[in-house]
Structure 1
Amino acid sequence: MKPTHLPRLKTSLLAAAIASTYCVPVYATDSDVENFRRIATFPIHENLDLENGDQSEDETVAEIVTASEDGQILIYTDSEKERLGFINISAPSTPVADGFIELDGEPTSVTVTGDYALVGINTSESFVAPSGALVVVDIPGRTVVQTLDMGGQPDSTAVSSDGRFAAVVIENERDEDIEVNGVEGGLPQLPAGFLNIIDTVGEPDTWQVRKADLSGLSALAPSDPEPEFVDIGRHNHAVVTLQENNHIVIVNLRSGAVVQDFPAGTVSLNDIDIEKDKLIDPSGSLDDVPREPDAVTWMRQGLFATANEGDLKGGSRGFSVFTPGGDVVFDSANTFEHLAIRHGHYPEKRAGKKGTEPEGIEYGKFGKTPYLFVGSERGNFVSVYNAQEADNPALKQVLPAGVGPEGLLALPERDLFVVASEKDDAEAGFRSTISIYELQDDAPTYPGIKSSEQDLIPWGALSGLSTDKDSSDILYAVHDSFYEKSRFYTVDISDSPAVIFDETVLMKDGDSVNYDLEGIAQAADGSFWLASEGKPADELKNILVHVDASGNVLAEYLLPEAVQAKAKKHGFEGVTASSDGATVYVAFQREWDGDPDNHVRIGVFDIASEGWTFFYYPIETASTGWVGLSEITALENGDLAVIERDNQQGPAAAIKRIYTFDPSSVVPKTEGEIFDVVSKTLANDLLDELNATKGWTPDKVEGLAVIGNEAYVVTDNDGLDDAVGETLFFSTPLLED
């Protein structure tokens, strides 16, 4: 992959009470050959104790993650199960479940000093009566050896590099459901938060706790500081974010004194999406948005960086680099949002709130190169920056993560980076995971597809592919009904990653139109056939759509009423055209009323007569869930290829295959006749390709285009709605007969 440069972006920055400098990150240079590559994904539910009452579908999460000092054991907090979990990564590409210990409360954070894990535990009975403890766990013995009363509800924890101090943020979080001064969830809401300092010299039973008062500092609700995150830098100075107060404090841990404090300031943003409307429209703007930083990390040159997630009023949708005196030397402005858009990771349903929500931030020096990692809680990705110039980090790459990446951990001594993604929903099909990446002398494995650096083209939920009649370097793709104003994309596949460089909005009667597009096929004359899936529950019919090269709707064709009356939820799921321009084939995803079990229809549309006939395609039997078709495409020899898949993801994914068949071997029949059944031949089992990047195996393999003997495949990321959000795009050869 050849690095390119981001274009100049329209952005303004207003930092209240802070002298600031704005910089736009650029991609790292060609000489930067090392890249982080994902080598393993560990599902947290594999660490459940199924022999002693746990159920495999139980909600269990990894929120904050750290490691033993030798880097061989990952240690994570599980707030749902109230446990501290362990994973053996002595062989990091094959992590192994290593058990857990039960805790007497909800763990909020964990850090390590020597052989001890320090775990913040929330035991609060209510918002007005917060309580908690710092539990000290002997890592080799897996036992609690000390419990220190924190005098409130702990959140973030940190340990100094010399092992002399630990710091624990006592947040005493607000109740977001009550109104204060006319603001829902507003401030102040006492009791106030503070910082606990623990002197960790000696054995845990000798450790002492000191309180550092943080009140009276912020402009907003000075009586009620809401500390969120802490990190300890050189000289044992702790930087603490007061998120809702939009304030930052630096505390000398030796003396317990506040040595610096300043407002986090505001940012004005242009060219971003600010409305939840089923459309990614980066044309909005926000003025004077409080940064409201969450995580914070010290960097080199005495600087520190914040992830500006937002909570009460703000969230500037990016990250910033500060001096200890409060000057902003760098702000990402709208570029973090644009990264998400270009990589298909933009969470459109969160556009009206805080967008990508950068929550986690981590710093680590790998060899001679320092890196900054910024995690998007809602976009399910981590952006990586070369921080050699700490005041001007250079974008290096984007890493896909699980759902809701929360904990970030750099392990430079092992060339590893770890992400804990906390969202877990067995019913929806995704689980909480820990992802492990390794810095390697190789090209990045992600993304496989993104949109152009020159034009900001939003995309996602790709559901179909087509070849181009003239060029082997061009494909076309469509999105489904997750987004409105249906369109098709033009994709350059001549390099890696593939690049979406153009979009064509469909127009009908002079206005945009909303289809549920599940397939696209270019005809010999340059026009396109599109398959729009119906939804009987909403009285939406399956439609075969014909559009010209400019996206103007030429005609819509419906199924015969007798066929449409048998419709179920899973209808049109792919479309292709014969090379002679006489016939269009449409794949039905699953059986409709009256169809035999494990037999789905292939619809045959005669363009001249506008008549429909059908034959059956035999699908495999699912051991779990269901199996259906998700794409159909014509091959050069006249055969047809389909994607046959189950609806399972992760370790449960079993059937993701390409089959081919000869349509001339059957005689299509009209409705009411007995349909022929075609014979199929396996052309490729896609599971190895889908698992090659060591992520969460997707369920929706949706797009297929074949050039010669090379199959191009794309997955549907569901617009990140209860989904990992990672789009896989790759090519693989078809098996020879």
Structure 2
Amino acid sequence: MLSRSPLVHALWLLIPSVVLACGDDLPTEAGSSGTAGSSGTAGSTSSPTSAPGTEDTGSIADDGTGSSSGAPGTDAGSEAGSTTGTGSDSTGEEVEMMLEIERIGRYAPEPLADRYDEGAAEIAAYDPTTQRLFVTNGQSATIDVVDLSDATTPVLLQALSASDPSLGAPTSVSVSDGVVAAAIPSASDAMPGRVVFFDVDGNELSSVVVGALPDMVTFSPDGTLVLVANEGEPTGYLGGDVDPEGSVSIIDVGGGAQNVVQQDVSTADFGGLTMGDIDATTRIFGPGSSIAQDLEPEYVAVSADSGTAWVTLQENNAMAIVDLATATVTEVIGMGLVDHSSSGLDPSDADGVIDISPAPVWGMRQPDAIAAFEIGGSTYLATANEGDARDYDGLGEESRVSSLVLDAAAFPDADLLQHNEELGRLRVTNVDGDIDGDGDFDQLWAFGSRSVSILDATGTLVWDSGDAIEQATAAAFPMGFNSNNDENDTFEARSDDKGPEPEGLAVGVAFGTPYLFVGLERIGGFMVWELSDPSAPVELLYLNPRDFAGDAAMGTADDLGPEGLLFIEAVESPTGNPLLVVTNEISGTVSIYELTQVPVR
């Protein structure tokens, strides 16, 4: 039976449009913590004594304890959700207000079955002047231009493609002041890619060479720079394979995108770094690879003054800080571990029940998306801690706990823990965890922490959501918990992997209040936190339109596999209200959500 505080009941009674999951439908094991709640952690820069790397300055670890205030709502299989706060009515009198989030439009070209699992909608950018969305389409290797002037009925206008036939499919897109920047890898990921510039009418303006596998592109807030995360993934680790260096390209577009030439590109690389220059908790483990080859930039966030960039290094469980004026990597910081013995997880797909419980497992954050925002004059960072493993010829770091030799002192109950119904099925790294080097595992490090984190500008942990995401999805979809994103009837299929996989995120201000939106790649949908106090975000709701009775491959299961989230401010919105755009990689669809505020009557 779900356990909820009286405060949660009271707030939810004020939200009649929220569809709540029935607690009696939630299968749990005796002693499990499978409750719908808001579980979070107040962070610190030091970890428990058993955590690795805790003496290294700048590393982030937490004990998974603590809580966040507020009451979550859930909106299961619906297109709208709401939560309450305070505000003023037309007379200036303070009244209780309700924030409503409703899907008002959907870009879903028929036949949807043809777009299924083809990456037909991954990342979106928006031009407020023309009210157009620019959406990466991996299926057609184009940037789809979608008219959003009527947000209830998005319409495809044209599809942009680069003139260079040697390029592959766009991986990312960004728009600023009427200029579209698209990151496009080479047909061979190991070769340098390009950033191609278009105007909003689709005319190609220029292009420049960047690093290998450009995976994310963004304009700086002042519009003068374009930053590119060049992931530089290896082709493998055997003879004849190539491991290109990861880097961040910085393109000066201050003279106009039409005038950009190769000399306008600077590169912030890792070539000059030694192991003494980076945080000791950063994972450097590619066989035969240098530090520069091993570090793999994933995503970029930029400070409001356009002077600093923060770059996630997902596989390395780290983050780089880049000085944009000098194109220099100034610091590489380990992202640390979440202690699941305090903050629970569901680690098994073999027990047939939801069991979000403490376990002797450390979760590597390994963030994907990162966003920078300011509250009270201070800069903060939000990270979506998805997790990722390396699986190549010559290096496969995933192992089931059941296959490992566990240290008898660290795991006196190893025989029980390694049962498939306990931790046996959980995938962990076989690269880290042998702390004393004696050949057995003293710790278990899982991929991703199934959480979202808030950091300050130095990379110090401020807050972590702990097991709040799994708790919310369990409450909303007790029969679809930890499902995969490419088919229904996959209850708990992701519990042994990375759970719901928070991947994309966006931060935006609506009606004077900052909010954090986090997309969940596997089960789908997104969660919302109120961010006024970054050290204690308030969990508001989880909204997911997925239809678990539909057929994913036939396009009748609604949105699947949210990849990117884009917040559009009210002043730039075609509706006059803030919008959240969610691009869904598996279903190939784009959903438009409108945020409104109404008084509670």
TM-score, normalisation: structure 1: 0.53
What is residue 3 of structure 1 aligned with on the other side?
11
CA change 1:99–1:267 in 2 (3 A) is: same
Q: Deviations for 1:465-521, whole angstroms, at most 9, x for unmatched residues? A: xxxxxxxxxxxxxxxxxxxxxxxxxxxxxxxxxxxxxxxxxxxxxxxxxxxxxxxxx
Aligned amino acid, residue 330 of structure 1: W
Query: Structure 1 residue 108 and structure 2 residue 149: aligned?
Result: no
Query: Structure 1 residue 418 and structure 2 residue 581: aligned?
Result: yes
Query: Structure 1 residue 225 and structure 2 residue 268: aligned?
Result: no
**Which of 152, 163, 168 is equivalent to 2:212?**
152
Deviation at 1:397, TM superposition (A): 1.6
Deviation at 1:91, TM superposition (A): 1.3
**Which of 304, 318, 325 is equivalent to 2:381?**
304
CA change 1:335–1:274 in 2 (3 A) is: same
Deviation at 1:375, TM superposition (A): 0.8
Deviation at 1:203, TM superposition (A): 2.1
Aligned amino acid, residue 439 of structure 1: L
What is residue 96 of structure 1 aligned with on the other side?
155
For residues 354 and 333 of structure 2, what CA distance do their matches in structure 1 show? 35
Deviation at 1:86, TM superposition (A): 1.4
Q: Do 1:20 and 1:327's aligned partners in 2 also have CA atoms closer than 8 Å?
A: no
Structure with the higher strand share, 1 or 2: 1
Deviation at 1:346, TM superposition (A): 2.3
For residues 73 and 42 of structure 1, what CA distance do their matches in structure 2 show? 12
Deviation at 1:280, TM superposition (A): 2.5
CA change 1:89–1:276 in 2 (3 A) is: same
Q: Compare relative contact order (CA 8 Å, sep 6+) and give the higher one, 1 or 2.
A: 2
Local SS of the residue matching 1:107: coil
Query: Structure 1 residue 362 and structure 2 residue 425: aligned?
Result: no
What is residue 614 of structure 1 aligned with on the other side?
none
Deviation at 1:336, TM superposition (A): 1.1
Deviation at 1:275, TM superposition (A): 1.0
Q: Do 1:246 and 1:292's aligned partners in 2 also have CA atoms closer than 8 Å?
A: yes
Query: Structure 1 residue 195 and structure 2 residue 255: aligned?
Result: no
Superposition pairs of residues 12-411 of structure 1, within 5 angstroms: 14=47, 16=54, 17=56, 18=59, 23-27=66-70, 30-31=85-86, 32-45=97-110, 59=118, 61-70=120-129, 72-103=131-162, 104-125=167-188, 129-140=190-201, 142-175=202-235, 190-207=243-260, 208-215=264-271, 216=273, 217=278, 219-221=282-284, 222-223=291-292, 224-236=294-306, 237-269=308-340, 270-277=343-350, 278-283=352-357, 285-300=359-374, 301-312=378-389, 313=429, 314-344=447-477, 346-347=481-482, 348-401=492-545, 402-411=559-568
CA change 1:280–1:106 in 2 (3 A) is: same
Superposition pairs of residues 516-535 of structure 1, within 5 angstroms: none
Q: Do 2:344 and 2:466's aligned partners in 1 also have CA atoms closer than 8 Å?
A: no
Q: Do 1:47 and 1:99's aligned partners in 2 also have CA atoms closer than 8 Å?
A: no
Aligned amino acid, residue 253 of structure 1: L
For residues 399 and 71 of structure 1, what CA distance do their matches in structure 2 show? 29
Q: Deviations for 1:517-549, whole angstroms, at most 9, x for unmatched residues? A: xxxxxxxxxxxxxxxxxxxxxxxxxxxxxxxxx
- Is there any run of 5+ residues in structure 1 with no aligned partner, and where? 49-54, 181-187, 424-430, 445-737
Local SS of the residue matching 2:254: coil
Local SS of the residue matching 1:341: helix
Q: Deviations for 1:543-580, whole angstroms, at most 9, x for unmatched residues? A: xxxxxxxxxxxxxxxxxxxxxxxxxxxxxxxxxxxxxx
Superposition pairs of residues 439-454 of structure 1, within 5 angstroms: 439-442=595-598
Local SS of the residue matching 1:163: coil
Query: Structure 1 residue 435 and structure 2 residue 443: aligned?
Result: no
For residues 374 and 291 of structure 1, what CA distance do their matches in structure 2 show? 15
Q: Deviations for 1:313-360, whole angstroms, at most 9, x for unmatched residues? A: 420001111112221010011111111111115221010010010011
Aligned amino acid, residue 582 of structure 2: V
Aligned amino acid, residue 271 of structure 1: G
For residues 353 and 147 of structure 1, what CA distance do their matches in structure 2 show? 39
Deviation at 1:400, TM superposition (A): 1.4
CA change 1:11–1:351 in 2 (3 A) is: farther
Deviation at 1:97, TM superposition (A): 2.1
CA change 1:298–1:46 in 2 (3 A) is: farther
For residues 359 and 280 of structure 1, what CA distance do their matches in structure 2 show? 22
Q: Do 1:66 and 1:74's aligned partners in 2 also have CA atoms closer than 8 Å?
A: yes
Aligned amino acid, residue 244 of structure 2: P
For residues 318 and 370 of structure 1, what CA distance do their matches in structure 2 show? 19
CA change 1:138–1:2 in 2 (3 A) is: farther
Q: Do 1:12 and 1:333's aligned partners in 2 also have CA atoms closer than 8 Å?
A: no
CA change 1:317–1:437 in 2 (3 A) is: same
- Is there any run of 5+ residues in structure 2 with no aligned partner, and where? 1-8, 13-34, 72-83, 87-96, 285-290, 390-428, 430-446, 483-491, 546-558
Q: Deviations for 1:616-639, whole angstroms, at most 9, x for unmatched residues? A: xxxxxxxxxxxxxxxxxxxxxxxx
Deviation at 1:45, TM superposition (A): 4.5
- Choose 260-269 or 9-18, whichever is displaced more: 9-18
CA RMSD, aligned part only?
2.9
CA change 1:201–1:356 in 2 (3 A) is: same
Local SS of the residue matching 1:354: coil
For residues 108 and 203 of structure 2, what CA distance do their matches in structure 1 show? 24
CA change 1:189–1:248 in 2 (3 A) is: farther
Aligned amino acid, residue 355 of structure 2: D
Aligned amino acid, residue 199 of structure 1: D
For residues 137 and 370 of structure 1, what CA distance do their matches in structure 2 show? 32
For residues 372 and 309 of structure 2, what CA distance do their matches in structure 1 show? 9
Aligned amino acid, residue 223 of structure 2: G
Q: Deviations for 1:630-664, whole angstroms, at most 9, x for unmatched residues? A: xxxxxxxxxxxxxxxxxxxxxxxxxxxxxxxxxxx
CA change 1:331–1:88 in 2 (3 A) is: same
Q: Which has the larger radius of gyration?
A: 1
Q: Do 1:44 and 1:434's aligned partners in 2 also have CA atoms closer than 8 Å?
A: no
Local SS of the residue matching 1:298: strand
Identity %: 30
CA change 1:47–1:315 in 2 (3 A) is: closer
CA change 1:8–1:298 in 2 (3 A) is: closer
For residues 100 and 595 of structure 2, what CA distance do their matches in structure 1 show? 5
Local SS of the residue matching 2:305: helix
Q: Deviations for 1:215-261, whole angstroms, at most 9, x for unmatched residues? A: 53353223421110001122321110011111111112121122343
Local SS of the residue matching 1:271: coil
CA change 1:195–1:282 in 2 (3 A) is: same
Q: List 4+ stretches of structure 1 deviating above 6 A.
A: 10-13, 55-58
Aligned amino acid, residue 311 of structure 2: V
CA change 1:47–1:164 in 2 (3 A) is: farther
CA change 1:349–1:255 in 2 (3 A) is: same
CA change 1:322–1:153 in 2 (3 A) is: same
Aligned amino acid, residue 3 of structure 1: L
Local SS of the residue matching 1:147: strand
The count of aligned residue pairs is: 420
For residues 225 and 56 of structure 1, what CA distance do their matches in structure 2 show? 33
Superposition pairs of residues 421-570 of structure 1, within 5 angstroms: 421-423=584-586, 431-442=587-598
CA change 1:356–1:308 in 2 (3 A) is: same
For residues 437 and 71 of structure 1, what CA distance do their matches in structure 2 show? 19
CA change 1:12–1:346 in 2 (3 A) is: farther
CA change 1:230–1:23 in 2 (3 A) is: farther
Aligned amino acid, residue 254 of structure 2: V
For residues 280 and 267 of structure 1, what CA distance do their matches in structure 2 show? 20
Deviation at 1:57, TM superposition (A): 8.0
